[in-house]
Chain A
Amino acid sequence: MFRILEKSTPATSINRFMIETPDVAKKALPGQFVILRLHEKGERIPITIADTDRVKSIITLFIQEVGKTTIEIGKLKSGDCILDVVGPLGIPSHIENFGTVLCVAGGVGVAVMYPVAKALKEKGNKIISILGARSKNFIVLENEMKKISDEFYITTDDGLYGEKGFVSDVLKNLLAQSSNHSLANIVYAIGPVPMMKVVSEITKRHNLKTIVSLNPIMVDGTGMCGACRVSIGGITKFACVDGPDFDGHLVDWKELTCRLSLFKRKEKESLDHYCKLSAAGK
């Protein structure tokens, strides 16, 4: 059992949990994730570690409510427990002094980007950040990202905060204003699959190396089932043990998108079942 020491809701439908996990906190590095299971009947879901406090043995997770399990987690409070947390899983993000790093993050992906960007900053990189969200109340860790960024841009789909449009629009503008390679040495893109796909397509045209953090369906997260397999340059890789970071220019995006939709119908069924039970007061 793993205790939630603190829970808050920093953005609409995005909950932040500080969880006591001595083993994971001792080891976790930027880019790694945990698999958690709420209770005996629960499923196992992967969540990237957004922050770690080694002294206090705490990891921080941002979990967006998108379906049955994440909605159920959203109902937990400080002091409640999560049955299973295993990690840190996956290969840590590659951190070195590249020069200038362009960090493009969308939605709850900002929480995943934050520890990576922080580590890149600490390595002496210049950080240019482009954050994007549906609207103002869906933005997380804006100030934290701003603090470590040398240049900072923010977009919202509705345009009521920051620039109107997508992160890809800002990216395109920045690239248009600079000659090839003078903007950044590498791009890190983390967010929803359509966003990472578009960013990779744009940077490919500029031959600008781009690392993405993939989020396929996972079960065990330890390499034993291949549910999370992705095609990278035509070769099958397991995102849980070979990733989750990959070269965005080599990812088969259509395959990933389709594989993510495999359980759509079942996911809805599960959520409906849960809502019915909740309504019945169980």
Chain B
Amino acid sequence: MEKIPRQKMPVQDVKERIKNFSSVALGYLNEQAILEAKRCIQCKKPTCIEGCPVEVDIPGFIKKIAEKNFTEAIKILKNKNNLPAVCGRVCPQETQCEIKCVLAKKGEPVAIGRLERFAADWEIANSLEFRVHSLEKLKAKDGNPQTSNSNLSTLNSQLSTNRIAVVGSGPAGLTCAADLAKMRYDVTIFESLHETGGVLMYGIPEFRLPKKTVKIEINYIKSLGVSIRTNVLIGKTKTVQELFDEGYKAIFVGTGAGLPQFLSIPGENLNRIYSANEFLTRANLMKAYKFPEYDTPIDIGKRVAVIGAGNVAMDSARVALRLGADEVLIVYRRTEKEMPARLEEIENAKEEGVILHLLTAPIRFIGDENNNVTGMECLKMELGEPDASGRRRPIPIKNSEFKFDVDTVVMAIGQSPNPLLPKTIRGLQVGKHGNIITDEKTGVTSIPGIFAGGDIATGASTVIEAMGAGKRAARAINEYIKNKKDFFDIINI
């Protein structure tokens, strides 16, 4: 049999794409997806599933794509993954499912992420037919609530006296809420921003994750019966205790790692030095790239330095390019090999003209008389022994100071867990980085009834890890409620 090569993803031409915020990767066409799906050898003991934090039946959905049964493919996906269009785009598959693919041993793994994205996008594109289809199914199989989302939602509000509060509407909270809704709980998500989605809305740029796609996936979660209340900052607008008093039986905290880190070096508060969170929130959530049609401004110069080399740094650099910077530099204290960003994103960034400035660490920012940043003083670095993270430790080279002209700086050196909510919960055990201490398998915290997961527990990690934590916590909450049920029945009388 002729061997099928791994199907390439069509992408937007680089000259065009640096001028817009539209998707870079365009997605598989039907024929390509079917071809790629046929590469999967349908292992009896599929190792790819082990690599997926939300345990998607990968060979199962791929088989359906190969059989051109896309409706069934998306159904299998959504059985475990509530946000497949998101995950298909932003998961680091190369270190998760795809690295475990048997084909990876001798060649290229099956493009699981691209296929997931294909199935999810196909459903979105055909959603009208899909809805009609499921409605008919509902009529035919009356009494089976699993077939209808709206039916599920009514059931939830009618039967369930078990209300669960989910704090934060990022990937962890959305997943936890969706899974709990599928278990027939009455779930309310509380979100402090005006939009739902957390980092999916404010952090990851449009050209990597279209906001319309995120909104469609969130609508799916709403259709499961989850209520979402935006503009509520738990800890300020309401306390966790008040949520319990209002009758919520358990609370999942998924408030993420929204606290930007700075270097604490001189000049860091000069004008045009942004945290990546501010820079990306302005650009993505507030759509500052459409200023003045949208009201939120963003101000950048011609030469932008992004400090850091994770995905957030790549996103910031590529946003800066699209906002019209002449030159964008990634300034990183280690070498390209140690960069934590996804390989694909580093390649995309380089292709678009982002320049890597490696083994360099800023020690001071320089400003003009109006406090605008005009440059930075840096030290050259060399690599020493591996540190706790396993990456080789950067060591400053003596007397290697040099200056560097920049007129805009974006600090993308990481985020810490957001301390606002944990601080307001008396008795909650918190780690030294402000993270909520949890049992990793269940999300159980030091306070009965309060569960936590995602970046608030682990520090900044990936979307899919947060989703995995949300899924595990949903299971644990179900167990907790079931064990508590008799108790609740008594006090409810």
Contacts and interface: CB of A to CB of B under 8 A. Distances in A.
Interface of A: 23-24, 27, 37, 41-44, 68-69, 83-89, 219-220, 222-227, 229-231, 236, 241, 252, 254-255, 258-259, 261-263, 265-267, 269-270, 273-274
18 contacts: A23-B232, A23-B238, A27-B237, A27-B238, A84-B231, A86-B194, A86-B232, A220-B281, A223-B418, A223-B420, A225-B281, A226-B260, A252-B269, A254-B371, A261-B271, A262-B299, A266-B292, A267-B297
A43 B286 CA distance: 7
Q: Which of B264, B291, B372 has the most CB of A within 10 A?
A: B291
B233 A89 contact: yes
Contacts, number: 123
B238 A224 contact: no
B233 A86 contact: yes
A258 B299 CA distance: 14
B278 A270 contact: no
B237 to A, nearest CB: 5
A224 B259 contact: yes
B262 interface: yes
Contacts of A224: 258-260, 277, 281, 418
Interface in B232-250: 232-233, 236-238
A220 B255 CA distance: 14
B342 interface: no
Nearest to A265: B299
A259 B299 contact: no
B269 A222 contact: no
Given A84-B194, A86-B237, A273-B292, A263 B297 contact: yes
B371 A236 contact: no
B294 interface: yes
B193 interface: yes
Interface string B22-50: 00000000000000000000000000000
**Across chains A and B, which 8 residue pairs bring their CB atoms closest together, nearest first?**
A258-B371, A266-B297, A224-B258, A225-B278, A43-B295, A273-B292, A84-B194, A86-B231
Given A43-B295, A236-B269, 11 more contacts: A43-B294, A44-B296, A69-B295, A86-B194, A219-B278, A222-B420, A224-B281, A226-B277, A227-B275, A231-B269, A263-B299
Contacts of A230: 269
A262 B271 contact: yes
A262 B277 contact: no
A258 B370 contact: yes
A83 B192 CA distance: 14
Contacts of A88: 236-237
Interface string B387-424: 00000000000000000000000000000001110000
A269 B237 contact: no
Q: Which of B268, B274, B297 has the most CB of A within 10 A?
A: B297
A225 B269 contact: no
B407 to A, nearest CB: 13
Nearest to A252: B269
Contacts of B192: 86, 220, 222
Interface of B: 192-194, 230-233, 236-238, 258-260, 262, 264, 268-269, 271-272, 274-275, 277-278, 281-282, 286-287, 291-299, 370-372, 418-420
Contacts of B272: 262
Contacts of A254: 371
A274 B292 CA distance: 8
A273 B269 CA distance: 30
Contacts of B258: 222-224
Q: Which of A84, A88, A226 has the most CB of B within 10 A?
A: A226
Contacts of B297: 43, 263, 266-267, 269-270
Nearest to B256: A224
A69 B238 CA distance: 28
A236 B262 CA distance: 10
A55 B170 CA distance: 34
B269 A229 contact: yes
B117 to A, nearest CB: 27
Contact of A236 (B236, B259, B268, B293): B268
Nearest to A90: B236
Contacts of B233: 86-87, 89, 222
A23 B229 CA distance: 12
Contacts of A270: 291-292, 295, 297
A155 B240 CA distance: 46
Contact of A227 (B278, B291, B294): B278
Contact of A89 (B236, B294, B296): B236
Given A87-B237, A88-B236, A225-B260, A259 B269 contact: yes
A206 to B, nearest CB: 29
B295 A41 contact: yes
A41 B293 contact: yes
Nearest to A260: B271
Given A224-B260, A225-B277, A258-B370, A42 B295 contact: yes
Contacts of A222: 192-193, 233, 258, 418, 420
Contacts of B237: 23-24, 27, 86-88
B108 to A, nearest CB: 39
